[in-house]
Amino acid sequence: MVEINETAPLKIVSTGKFHFEVELDSTGFTDYIRQGVVENQKVATNIEFLSWTDCFKNPVKCSTFGMLEVPDLAKFGRSEQLHASLWGIHQFLGANGRYPATADVDKCKELATEFMKTNGEDGMTVEIEDDVFKQAIQFSECSVSPLAAFFGGIVAQEIVK
């Protein structure tokens, strides 16, 4: 069974505690003489991705399952709404040089819906809930990093104790 040494990497079909099976038809091989050595080889797999422009227009198309990962199953579509909200916030920031305040909710929502309309069929279309959009606008000026670093330091100190 020396012919097995010249084959390409083989796919392992099943494994057990002391054995494994590979996907190979060995009917034309010579007789089995003695044990051998097996090497684990990583086989490269080509993965295709869409361009950043296409992913930014519609992040749902770029995801694995055709929807953004849902952190809470009660809030389907929330990720798409937040993506559109962030687009409106960034457009407002670029136009006015400041983050939007609570009074600027309508202007930001206009920018977000305009973004979805201009992308047409390639872009995502989602109905944005007013509460979600308003909360995204209210917290757009917040900086969470220093607060997270502070609490992370406290938690780390308590773990060391």
Task: Look at the chain and report how many structural domains it folds into.
Answer: 1
85 touches 136 (CB < 8 A): yes
Question: Is 30 inside a domain boundary?
Answer: no
Question: Is 129 inside a domain boundary?
Answer: yes
CA distance linking residue 9 with residue 21, whole number of Å = 13
Question: Is 124 inside a domain boundary?
Answer: yes
CA distance linking residue 48 with residue 50, whole number of Å = 7
Report pLDDT for 155: 92
- pTM for the predicted model, two decimal places: 0.54
Question: Is 139 inside a domain boundary?
Answer: yes
Question: Is 108 inside a domain boundary?
Answer: yes
Question: Is 61 inside a domain boundary?
Answer: yes
Most confident of 32-36, 64-68, 123-127: 32-36
Range of the domain at 138: 52-147
What pLDDT, in 10s, does the model give residues 62-72?
776 555 565 66
Categorize the per-residue pLDDT at 120 as very low, low, confident or very high, splitting at 50, 70 and 90.
low
Question: Is 102 inside a domain boundary?
Answer: yes
Cα 34–Cα 36–Cα 40 angle in degrees, nearest 5? 160
